[in-house]
């Protein structure tokens, strides 16, 4: 069927901010979809609230709206644009829910707008538990037996009928709190009773447990002609029991015979046909390791994280094909873009092994529960490709950037075999390393299998790696062993550690011995047909397929897996750099390890190397490609950290030199620059011992801001107010040494603000000043940020501009730099300089219409800003106001304290833009999914130091008609100041407490601040958790409340008595 000509204008809905479970993969799918529809000649309108995305770039769609993904705003866009159709299945669950809401509200019928692709009824059938169950029954496809229980006896009845173990899932609790697996009658009584108690609706789902089954995923496509195919099959290393997003995954399936593969393929195709899906579907299945018995676990009727992984793992661009199918094309009409000659109607054949490992945020969230279960906790993932599993696995390990190059870098020496075996279940994020350590100690595969039910095939791959470790140790310097280790994915560094040599020694030996990687193409067809895709991975074999072209090339390093502090913003910058490099006439080569991103779409660059971002892996590509230089400024700290070693290996870094990069990151050198420029800076000291730190803090004066050097995202940064707290910090948070000093700065109270600077070493352009809503103390990544500044004085703005310009010039910045300030007593103090693209680049680029990453790349390639028409100084702002607001994933990480502080906690961001600050703020709040109530009850529970300020805010709420509630201390203070307030009890005292009030939906806003040594802290934490659990707006910084009140006031008319 040819594509539809009755529709012209199509709206694509994005997935909004990055949260755990919905990350960069939807930027990838949305971008692909938009480009794919444009390619077919449609007029594409795109809406997303997330500015840090490629898809919201003007060049991706014909029209882009960065607006909240809420019915009212999308309706406005629909009424204005009058599209013929909406494509909702490429924006994750957010996009899909939005389409459902629009349809249910009658807006689509009213405006005569069609939903493209899969029908809503099919989506309902796949997503609604009951409908799904009955569909599977009709199809004769098994699902795990389950029932909803509202009493303990119902739960017990189910287990008696269907047998143990059973899974208990309480309804509507934060992160599935209170659930668990019951092996016995007694356990079920305990878990179900607790679960029913915790569930606000006194309801639990009891499900037959299939934990321990093999978890298999199929990515399936279907078109309107009923052609259906399997793009990829994937097998989880971790058996059923861990969320697939938190599971280690291999592609294709490894331990299934063809009979099993075909049985499951039949089921997958039957389901996609029954649902009449037009596009892509992810089907998760569980297979009994001892029989043909299987269950369908879940069907996602849209593109997903798994489909992004499958696309990168196979080369088959699922989202792109899904978009074409949605406009009526059939798979046999679409050309496979990888081969350029064969049809999209084929099932990819892989001739390599893919290994995916999730990236968890536990390095940032030290208090979080590291156990994995049904709630996904990973923020990102890495993928690696090899010609055997050992190679793919070890490449994936070193792509994670968790301080491990090999499996031997994380060991558990303090734990006994028995302890370590016990720690395997329930699994933690570091289980892979635990297993490796057990095997290293001689514990058998069988023992580990019995404990974890991980397939012995996979365990044997780990054992093989351990055997090679041991063989290397016995054969130091022997070429045969070196070759064998390289073929099995060992990094030079791992070999060097075992041989007690330097990595450079091993590298030199390897090069002398001609043990060099070759690069093989990912071509979807296992070499059966010639392909055009410039998508490569390294391995140690005979034939190299990647040939250096005659064109001069530039390598851009990506930013690796998404983690707190290093998000999709850097992928945005990476992709922009590529465009600029291509426009300048060079070949642009990307290296990255993250399958979720746009940058690892092979159609973005001239060549893609899907490789770990370690020195060795980068040098290997450099050896082959001989680029004129490498761009490190856009890959976050990942790439910046490689700058120095790359230069030491004779590689040319484009832009700011390594010496100058180091000057920004080395405390002493940076202080010199600041002194020289006579810039105001908070008093600061460096310490390498605990005693030194105490002395430094005395000198600087408490409170101090303390952190280790070389950090990203404010890791382990805290504000401490006393010697005791300082000692505690030094013991708990850092391993201090001469190489790793801690920085101790005077903590100045004041507003924060920041600028990005674009500089060619002479001309320094400040595209705009961003003013933070929250004062210093809240990490800049967690602050709401406003452009242009609304409250900063002209004096301060001038100081910031001047300081940033002189810093850029003094540090010979070529490219981008980010400077952060604290505004204390109307003076701008420099607090931090990052000599690279920061996470604000997409935001500031979008609001100023200056493509900063592209301009910076041109500058790095030698162009002068003056020639581009820029002059030194601050670029004037237009009359719109833009607010960037952080988004958190606390619902997924129940043990992480939601209290904001100097440690970054947000996972994503949204943008609100309008003509006034309150309007822009309103949009930012709506886009953040914060309900902006018209009236209701506000709970205050604040630290003593904040009470005066809180009183003023409380008064404003009261004037708007809100009723005030407070905990005892805050309440007493309010009453003493003649504010009428209802005081709630402490949680231990009675049921008339804040947590109960939140459960009963009695409170509409919660304001909670704490002091570091607050005795009431345990209650505070419970209140914050309850607010998050019940989706009640929670503010832990009074400045945010102030902004929130500005919005409320601007939206309400005043009612004043006559005087």
Enumerate binding residues for other proteins (CB under 8 A): 225-227, 229, 252-259, 261-262, 265-266, 289-291, 331-332, 341-343, 345-353, 387-389, 445, 455-457, 460, 464, 520, 525-530, 541-543, 545
Q: How far is CA 433 from CA 84, 482, 536, in A?
A: 53, 23, 28
CA atoms of 605 and 583, how far apart (whole Å): 12
CB of 288 to other proteins, least distance (A): 8
Bridge partners, 286 (sequence order): 215, 295
CB of 235 to other proteins, least distance (A): 10
Instruction: Pull the structure tokens for residue 416.
Output: 């006994």
Nearer to other proteins, 149 or 445 (CB): 445
Q: Mapped to the 3 state alphabet, what secondary structure does 700-757 carry? A: HCCCEEEEECCCCCCCCCEEECCHHHHHHHHHHCCCCCCCCCEEEEECCCCEEEEEEE
Q: Could you say which DSSP state residue 175 is in?
A: G
CB of 1 to other proteins, least distance (A): 11
First to last CA, the chain: 74
Instruction: Pull the structure tokens for residue 786.
Output: 């406003």
CB of 463 to other proteins, least distance (A): 8
Contacts of 156 (CB under 8 A, 6+ apart): 185, 188, 189, 192
- Answer for the pair 543, 518: CB distance below 8 angstroms, yes or no: yes
CB of 1013 to other proteins, least distance (A): 55
Nearer to other proteins, 521 or 1048 (CB): 521
Find how far residue 487's CA is from the centre of its chain. 32
CB of 341 to other proteins, least distance (A): 8
User: Is 757 buried (19+), middle (13-18) or exposed (0-12) by CB count in 10 A?
Assistant: buried
Contacts of 956 (CB under 8 A, 6+ apart): 1045, 1049
For residue 560, give the nearest of 590, 596, 593, 607 by alpha carbon.
593
Nearer to other proteins, 110 or 545 (CB): 545
CB of 259 to other proteins, least distance (A): 6
Nearer to other proteins, 197 or 332 (CB): 332
CB of 430 to other proteins, least distance (A): 24
- In this structure, the strands spanning 353-359 and 380-386 are antiparallel
Unique residue bearing structure tokens 């997935």: 15
Nearer to other proteins, 352 or 940 (CB): 352
Nearer to other proteins, 250 or 494 (CB): 250
- Answer for the pair 222, 329: CB distance below 8 angstroms, yes or no: no
Starting from the edge strand earliest in sequence, which strands make up the sheet with 718-720, in order? 684-687, 742-746, 704-708, 718-720
- Answer for the pair 976, 931: CB distance below 8 angstroms, yes or no: no
Nearer to other proteins, 262 or 676 (CB): 262
Nearer to other proteins, 257 or 794 (CB): 257
- Answer for the pair 982, 964: CB distance below 8 angstroms, yes or no: yes
Nearer to other proteins, 471 or 1012 (CB): 471
Torsion angle of the four alpha carbons 386, 390, 392, 398, in this order, in degrees rounded to the nearest 10: -130
Helices 667-677 & 794-810, crossing angle to 10 degrees?
Answer: 120
Q: What angle do CA 779, 780, 785 make, to 5 degrees?
A: 135
Q: How far is CA 924 from CA 70, 596, 895, in A?
A: 11, 25, 26
CB of 467 to other proteins, least distance (A): 11
CB of 493 to other proteins, least distance (A): 24
Nearer to other proteins, 542 or 547 (CB): 542
- Answer for the pair 905, 896: CB distance below 8 angstroms, yes or no: yes
Sign for the CA dihedral angle at 635, 639, 644, 646 comes to negative
CA atoms of 717 and 701, how far apart (whole Å): 17
Nearer to other proteins, 464 or 727 (CB): 464
CB of 339 to other proteins, least distance (A): 9
CB of 215 to other proteins, least distance (A): 15
Contacts of 305 (CB under 8 A, 6+ apart): 21, 22, 23, 25, 245, 381, 596
Nearer to other proteins, 465 or 726 (CB): 465
Nearer to other proteins, 450 or 934 (CB): 450
CB of 346 to other proteins, least distance (A): 5
Nearer to other proteins, 265 or 312 (CB): 265
CB of 217 to other proteins, least distance (A): 15
User: Is 572 buried (19+), middle (13-18) or exposed (0-12) by CB count in 10 A?
Assistant: buried
Nearer to other proteins, 457 or 710 (CB): 457
CB of 525 to other proteins, least distance (A): 7
Instruction: Pull the structure tokens for residue 397.
Output: 């390990």
CB of 135 to other proteins, least distance (A): 21
Nearer to other proteins, 428 or 464 (CB): 464
CB of 257 to other proteins, least distance (A): 5
Torsion angle of the four alpha carbons 15, 17, 19, 21, in this order, in degrees rounded to the nearest 10: 10
Nearer to other proteins, 265 or 685 (CB): 265
Unique residue bearing structure tokens 């670029």: 875
| DSSP3 helix / strand / coil % (the chain, rounded to 5) | 40, 20, 40
Q: Could you say which DSSP state residue 171 is in?
A: T
CB of 1019 to other proteins, least distance (A): 52
User: Is 971 buried (19+), middle (13-18) or exposed (0-12) by CB count in 10 A?
Assistant: buried
Nearer to other proteins, 346 or 940 (CB): 346
């Amino acid at each position: 069927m040819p594509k539809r000509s009755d529709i012209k204008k199509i709206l694509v809905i994005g997935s909004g901010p990055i949260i755990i479970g919905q990350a960069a993969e939807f930027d990838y799918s949305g971008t692909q979809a938009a480009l794919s529809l444009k390619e077919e000649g449609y007029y594409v309108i795109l809406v997303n609230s997330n500015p840090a995305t490629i898809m919201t770039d003007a060049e991706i769609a014909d029209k882009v709206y960065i607006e909240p993904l809420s019915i009212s705003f999308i309706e406005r866009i629909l009424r204005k644009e009058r599209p013929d159709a909406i494509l909702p299945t490429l924006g994750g669950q957010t996009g899909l829910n939005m389409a459902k809401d629009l349809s249910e509200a009658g807006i689509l019928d009213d405006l005569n707008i069609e939903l493209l692709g899969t029908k809503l009824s099919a989506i309902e059938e796949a997503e609604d538990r009951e409908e799904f169950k009955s569909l599977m029954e009709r199809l004769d496809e098994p699902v795990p037996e389950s029932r909803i229980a509202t009493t303990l006896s119902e739960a017990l009845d189910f287990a008696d009928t269907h047998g143990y173990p059973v899974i208990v899932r309480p309804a509507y609790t934060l992160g599935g709190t209170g659930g668990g697996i019951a092996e016995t009658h007694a356990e079920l009584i305990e878990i179900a009773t607790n679960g029913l108690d915790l569930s606000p609706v006194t309801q639990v789902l009891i499900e037959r447990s299939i934990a321990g089954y093999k978890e298999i995923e199929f990515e399936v496509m279907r078109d309107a002609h009923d052609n259906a195919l399997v793009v990829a099959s994937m097998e989880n290393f971790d058996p059923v029991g861990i969320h697939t997003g938190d599971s280690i995954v291999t592609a294709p399936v490894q331990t299934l015979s063809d009979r099993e593969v075909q049985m499951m393929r039949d089921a997958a195709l039957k389901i996609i046909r029954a649902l009449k899906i037009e596009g892509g579907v992810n089907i998760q299945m569980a297979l009994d390791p001892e029989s043909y018995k299987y269950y369908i676990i879940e069907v996602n009727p849209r593109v997903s994280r798994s489909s992004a992984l499958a696309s990168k793992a196979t080369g088959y661009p699922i989202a792109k094909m899904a978009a074409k199918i949605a406009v009526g094309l059939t798979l046999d009409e679409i050309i496979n873009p990888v081969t350029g000659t064969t049809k999209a109607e084929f099932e990819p054949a892989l001739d390599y092994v893919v290994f995916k490992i999730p990236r968890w945020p536990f390095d940032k969230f030290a208090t979080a529960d590291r156990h994995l279960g049904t709630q996904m906790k990973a923020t990102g993932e890495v993928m690696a490709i090899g010609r055997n599993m050992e190679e793919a696995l070890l490449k994936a390990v070193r792509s994670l950037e968790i301080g491990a190059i090999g499996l031997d870098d994380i060991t558990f020496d303090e734990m006994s075999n028995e302890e370590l075996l016990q720690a395997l279940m329930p699994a933690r994020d570091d289980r892979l390393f635990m297993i490796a350590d057990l095997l290293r100690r001689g514990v058998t595969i069988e023992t580990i299998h019995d404990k974890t039910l991980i397939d012995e095939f996979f365990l044997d791959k780990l054992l093989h790696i351990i055997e090679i470790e041991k063989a290397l140790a016995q054969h130091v310097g022997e070429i045969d062993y070196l070759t064998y280790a390289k073929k099995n994915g060992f990094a030079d560094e791992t070999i060097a550690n075992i041989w007690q040599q330097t990595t450079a020694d091993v590298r030199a030996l390897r090069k002398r011995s001609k043990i060099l990687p070759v690069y093989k193409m990912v071509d979807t067809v296992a070499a059966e047909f010639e392909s055009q895709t410039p998508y490569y991975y390294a391995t140690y074999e005979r034939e190299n397929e990647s040939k250096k072209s005659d064109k001069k090339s530039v390598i851009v390093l990506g930013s690796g897996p998404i983690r707190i502090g290093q998000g999709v913003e850097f992928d945005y910058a990476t992709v922009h750099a590529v465009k600029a490099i291509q426009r300048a006439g060079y070949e642009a080569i990307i290296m990255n390890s993250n399958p979720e991103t746009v940058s690892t779409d092979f159609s973005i660059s001239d060549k893609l190397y899907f490789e770990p971002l370690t020195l060795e892996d980068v040098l290997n590509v450099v050896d082959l490609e001989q680029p004129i230089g490498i761009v490190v400024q856009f890959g976050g700290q990942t790439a910046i950290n490689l700058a120095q070693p790359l230069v030491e290996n004779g590689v040319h870094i484009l832009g700011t030199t390594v010496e100058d990069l180091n000057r920004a990151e080395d405390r002493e050198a940076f202080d010199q620059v600041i002194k020289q420029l006579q810039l105001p800076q908070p008093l600061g000291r460096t310490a390498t011992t605990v005693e030194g730190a105490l002395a430094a803090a005395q000198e600087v004066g408490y409170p101090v801001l303390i952190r280790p050097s070389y950090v990203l995202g404010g890791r382990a940064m805290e504000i401490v107010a006393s010697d005791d707290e300082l000692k505690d910090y030094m013991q708990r948070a850092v391993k201090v040494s001469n190489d790793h000093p801690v920085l101790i700065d005077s903590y100045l109270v004041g507003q924060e603000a920041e600028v990005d600077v674009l500089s060619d070493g002479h001309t320094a352009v400040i595209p705009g000043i961003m003013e933070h809503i929250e004062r210093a103390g809240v990490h800049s990544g967690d602050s709401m940020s406003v452009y242009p500044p609304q409250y900063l004085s002209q004096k301060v703005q001038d100081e910031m501009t001047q300081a940033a310009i002189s810093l850029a010039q003094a540090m010979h910045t070529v490219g981008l730099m980010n400077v952060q300030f604290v505004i204390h007593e109307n003076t701008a103090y420099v607090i931090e300089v990052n000599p690279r693209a920061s996470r604000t680049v997409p935001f500031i680029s979008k609001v100023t219409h200056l493509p900063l990453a592209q301009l910076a790349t041109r500058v790095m390639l030698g162009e002068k800003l003056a020639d581009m028409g820029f002059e030194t100084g601050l670029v004037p702002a237009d009359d719109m106001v833009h607010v960037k607001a952080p988004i958190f994933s606390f619902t997924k990480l129940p043990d992480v304290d939601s209290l904001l502080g100097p440690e970054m906690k947000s996972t994503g961001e949204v943008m609100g833009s309008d003509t006034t600050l309150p309007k822009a703020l309103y949009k930012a709040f709506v886009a953040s999914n914060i309900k902006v109530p018209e009236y209701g009850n506000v709970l205050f529970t604040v630290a003593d130091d904040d009470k005066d300020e809180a009183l003023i805010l409380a008064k404003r709420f009261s004037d708007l008609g809100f009723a005030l509630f407070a905990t005892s201390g805050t309440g007493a203070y309010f009453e003493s100041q003649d504010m009428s307030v209802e005081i709630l009890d402490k949680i231990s005292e009675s049921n008339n407490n804040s947590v109960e009030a939140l459960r009963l939906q009695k409170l509409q806003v919660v304001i909670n601040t704490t002091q570091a040594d607050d005795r009431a802290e345990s209650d505070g934490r419970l209140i914050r958790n309850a607010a998050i659990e019940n989706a009640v707006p929670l503010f832990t910084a009074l400045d945010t409340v102030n902004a929130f009140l500005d919005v409320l006031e601007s939206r309400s008319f005043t009612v004043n008595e006559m005087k």
